[in-house]
Structure 1
Amino acid sequence: MAQYLTFKLGREEYAIEILRVQEIRGHSRITPIPNTPAYVKGVINLRGTVVPVVDLRCRLGMPETSDMRFSAIVVVTVGAKIVGLFVDEVSDVADIQHAEVQAPPEFGAHAETRFIAGLVHVGERLIVLLSLDTILREDPSTPLPSPA
C-alpha cells in the first residue's frame, strides 16, 4: 500500500505519490520567465530557492480556467530538482493498494496517456495516478528551468 496526494484539475481527480511532496502552498506570486515552454507558469521564491512552477492543466493539454479560488502549488521533488505543480484544488491523501491500480487505457483519457501511471477506484471516485517523472522529464527542445 502507498499513500497518494489527490488533487483536482477541473472535475477530474488526480494523484501523485505523497513521498514526492515537500509541501503544499496556497496560490503564491508566480514570476513569469520568458522563453520557457507554455506549461511553465514561471518561478516562485521558496525560502530563498527559485522553484519553477508547472501548470499541470497546460502540461496535460487541458483548457485554462479562470476559477482560481482553491488553486495551490504542490512542491515536489523529481530526482535532484524541486518543482511546483500548479493545481486547481488539493483534495486529500488516499491509501492505495498496488494490486488495485489498473493500467491506463489506450484511448479515451482526458490526459495524455503517456503521463498516466494508472487508474484506481477509491470508493466512488476514479483517480488518475500521474507519472511525475514522465510529466517533468527534461526534453532538450523544451527544458524545465532548474532551481537556482
Structure 2
Amino acid sequence: MQMILFKLNQQFYLISAASVEEVIDTIEITPVPLAAKWVKGLINLRGAVMTVVGLSELIGVPESKEYKNILIMKKDDKRKGLLIEEVSEILDVDPEKVVLNDDAKEQNKYYSGIVSFPDKVANVVDVTKMIF
C-alpha cells in the first residue's frame, strides 16, 4: 500500500496515500476565534475554503518550529488540511511490515501501528475518522 512518510517534531509518521488528495506548501492560514485547540484556521485553496487541523495538537506531540506542508485530506466530498512539518517521500509499504501494537493503540486512538526501516522508525497514523 502506498503511504506518505513525513516528519513532525523530528519524528517520522506514515499516513495512507489513499486518504490524501494532494500535498501543498504551507499558505496563509486565517485563525478562527474560539475554535478547538487543534484547529489552526482556514485556508483558501483555489477558491475552496477549508479547515486546517494541526496534527501535532491532534495527536498530542510538541509543536514543530516550522511547518512546510499541508496534506489535503479527502473523505467522500469533504476536504480538510492537515498541517505537518515536511513530507519526506512516498513509499510502497508491505501491510505485513506494519506492526500492530494494541497497548499503543489504546493509549492513543490515532496510531494504528509502527513500521521499521533500516534507518528510522515511523508511526502509522489514521486521523481521517477524527477530523471528518
Give the alignment's TM-score, normalised by structure 2.
0.89
**Inter-partner Cα distance in structure 1 for 2:121 and 2:115:** 6
Residue 26 of structure 2 is matched in structure 1 by 27
Residue 58 of structure 1 is matched in structure 2 by 57
Deviation at residue 105 of structure 1 after TM alignment: 5.0
Q: Detail structure 1 runs of 4+ shifted over 3 Å in the superposition.
A: none
**Inter-partner Cα distance in structure 2 for 1:40 and 1:134:** 15
2:132 counterpart of 1:133: no
**Inter-partner Cα distance in structure 2 for 1:27 and 1:97:** 30
Identity %: 29
Residue 18 of structure 1 is matched in structure 2 by 17
Residue number among 90, 93, 103 corresponding to 1:93 in the alignment: 90
Consecutive unaligned residues of structure 2, counting only runs of 5 or more, are none
Q: Verify the 8 A CA contact 1:115 1:134 in the aligned structure 2.
A: no
Residue 45 of structure 2 is matched in structure 1 by 46
Q: Which amino acid aligns with 2:6?
A: F
Consecutive unaligned residues of structure 1, counting only runs of 5 or more, are 138-148
2:80 counterpart of 1:116: no
Q: Which amino acid aligns with 1:16?
A: I
Q: Verify the 8 A CA contact 1:5 1:16 in the aligned structure 2.
A: yes
How large is the Cα RMSD of the aligned pairs? 1.8
Residue 72 of structure 2 is matched in structure 1 by 75
**Inter-partner Cα distance in structure 2 for 1:60 and 1:27:** 20
**Inter-partner Cα distance in structure 1 for 2:119 and 2:77:** 36
Residue 144 of structure 1 is matched in structure 2 by none
Q: Which amino acid aligns with 1:82?
A: R
**Number of positions where the alignment pairs a residue of Structure 1 with one of Structure 2:** 131
Residue 141 of structure 1 is matched in structure 2 by none
Q: Which amino acid aligns with 2:45?
A: L
Q: Structure 1, residues 83-129: CA drift from partner, whole Å, max 9, x if none? A: 1010011110111111111113515x9xx521011111123221111
**Inter-partner Cα distance in structure 2 for 1:7 and 1:51:** 21
**Inter-partner Cα distance in structure 2 for 1:103 and 1:135:** 19
